[in-house]
Amino acid sequence: MSERPQNRLPAVLQNLALPVIGAPMFIASGPALVKAQCKAGIVGAFPALNARPPELLDAWLTEIQADLAAYKAAHPDAIVGPIAVNQIVHQSNDRLAHDVEVCVRHRVPIIISSLRAPPKEMMDAIHSYGGIVLHDVISIRHAQKALEAGVDGLILVAAGAGGHAGTLSPFVLVGEVRKFFAGPIALSGAIATGDAVLAAQAMGADFAYIGSRWLATKESNVDDAYREAIVSSAAADVVYTNLFTGVHGNYLKKSIINAGLDPDNLPQADKTVMNFGSGSGSKIKAWRDIWGAGQGVGLIDEVASVADIVQRMSAEYAAAKKRLQI
């Protein structure tokens, strides 16, 4: 496999310890997880909406940036990954303008936009200080619309990804997008090992976009029951439904049963209503009570630190390269 030259990528995405972007996960991704990911040399990300109330976003970014600067000063030879913040671009997100302004003030190097392509004023504000925008998509049409809006890179959310996910095979999604886009691509969908990171690159992506693997870490902001469910589950324990937010996603069957619902007979949600806090107008809350997870959970066998996981993935990645004589 011939590797694409690093210098075609934005500077902020070059020189990672492993070509991995930590996916921003509702509730689970907080300062502790992001700092650990960055210190391990990968991109650390969190959703802006995790910082509640809105004023907390400024405090989180201040804390993360100060901690990483101190770490870099104490370890000048270490590879420290950049921060990314996820912004939900949708009319239901009444915090968007505020959260983008805070990120611009902190000069967050990577913004991950979701659901809809960012408006021009948002793109201009992020580009004004050299920031880049990566937009996550589940279809070719969405990818084309995002590129028309001027995003710098794409996150292709393929079948099997945790949380909001698409249904296309990663081979198809990457292959078709590569026909018209040569820029940065991250691939998401049941990636939990270093071998899979290399496989993502082999099919044309630049980075693996990994979420569920970080749920079963000491640094994730979830309770032990969620961690234990990740470790004990397999692909067959993941349910694909739009009931809980109005957007189709993958969730752990155990959490659906715990909420008193039948995972094999879930109704369809109203597609015109998107709700990122609760499901179907009930007291059941997505992400808190209904646990998002990808089909890669069957490859997760223990709770470990982020540093240990990245180290293990790096060894698997190197071993896979050696095995294929790359």
pLDDT tens per residue, range 58-114: 999 999 999 999 999 999 999 999 999 999 999 999 999 999 999 999 999 999 999
Q: Which pLDDT does position 272 carry in this prediction?
A: 47
pLDDT of 2 > 80? The answer is no
Residue 4: the pLDDT is 61
pLDDT score, position 283:
64
pLDDT at res. 270: 60
pLDDT of residue 30: 98
Residue 70 has phi, psi (to 5 degrees) of: -65, -40
Per-residue confidence band for 288, with pLDDT thresholds at 50, 70 and 90: confident
Alpha-carbon span 130 to 109, nearest angstrom: 7
What is the DSSP secondary structure assignment for residue 152, as one 8-state letter? S
Q: Which two tokens stand for residue 4?
A: 């694409």
Per-residue model confidence (pLDDT) at position 274: 46
Which ranges in the chain belong to alpha helices (H)? Answer: 31-39, 56-74, 96-105, 120-127, 140-148, 170-177, 194-202, 224-232, 253-258, 306-323
Neighbours of 186 (CB within 10 A): 26
Q: Within 13 Å of residue 146, how many CA atoms lie on the same side as its CB?
A: 29
The pLDDT value recorded for residue 273 is 47
| 116 contact partners, CB below 8 Å, separation of at least 6 | 89, 90
* Closest C-alpha among 109, 112, 173 to residue 143: 173
- Average pLDDT (131-138) is 97
* pLDDT of res. 286: 81
Q: Give the Cα separation of 296 and 192 in Å (integer).
A: 6
**314 pLDDT above the threshold of 90:** yes
Query: Three-state SS for 289?
Result: coil
Query: What domains lie within the chain, and their CATH numbers?
Result: 6-218 (3.20.20.70)
Q: Tell how many helices (H) and how many strands (E) occur in the chain.
A: 10, 11
pLDDT of residue 163: 84
Q: Mean of the pLDDT values across residues 212-227?
A: 97
On the question of pLDDT at 279 being above 70, the answer is: no
d(CA 157, CA 135): 10
Confidence of residue 323 (pLDDT cuts 50, 70, 90): very high
What pLDDT is recorded for position 285?
81
For residues 281 and 309, give the distance between their C-alpha atoms in angstroms, rounded to a whole number. Answer: 38
Is the pLDDT at 119 greater than 50, yes or no? yes
Please state the pTM of the whole predicted model.
Answer: 0.92
User: DSSP characters for 57-101?
Assistant: HHHHHHHHHHHHHHHHHH-TTS--PPEEEEEE-STT-TTHHHHHH
Predicted confidence at residue 122, as pLDDT, reads 98
Which of these ranges, 37-51, 103-117, 275-289, has the smallest mean pLDDT? 275-289
User: Is residue 112 within 8 Å of 45, Cβ to Cβ?
Assistant: yes
Distance (Å, whole) CA 186 – CA 206: 6
Alpha carbon separation from 33 to 213, 259, 269 (Å, rounded): 12, 27, 32
Q: List the structure tokens of 243.
A: 């009931």
Pinpoint the alpha helices (H) of 194-305. Answer: 194-202, 224-232, 253-258
What is the Cα–Cα distance from 181 to 249, expressed in whole angstroms?
26
User: Which pair of structure tokens corresponds to residue 95?
Assistant: 């915090």
Euclidean distance between CA atoms 132 and 275, whole angstroms: 27
Q: What is the pLDDT of residues 232-271, one digit of tens each?
A: 999 999 999 999 988 889 999 999 999 999 999 999 876 5
Work out the percent of the chain whose per-residue pLDDT is above 90: 87
Predicted local confidence at residue 6, as pLDDT: 63
- pLDDT digits 0-9 by tens, 241-250: 999 988 889 9
* pLDDT for res 3: 56
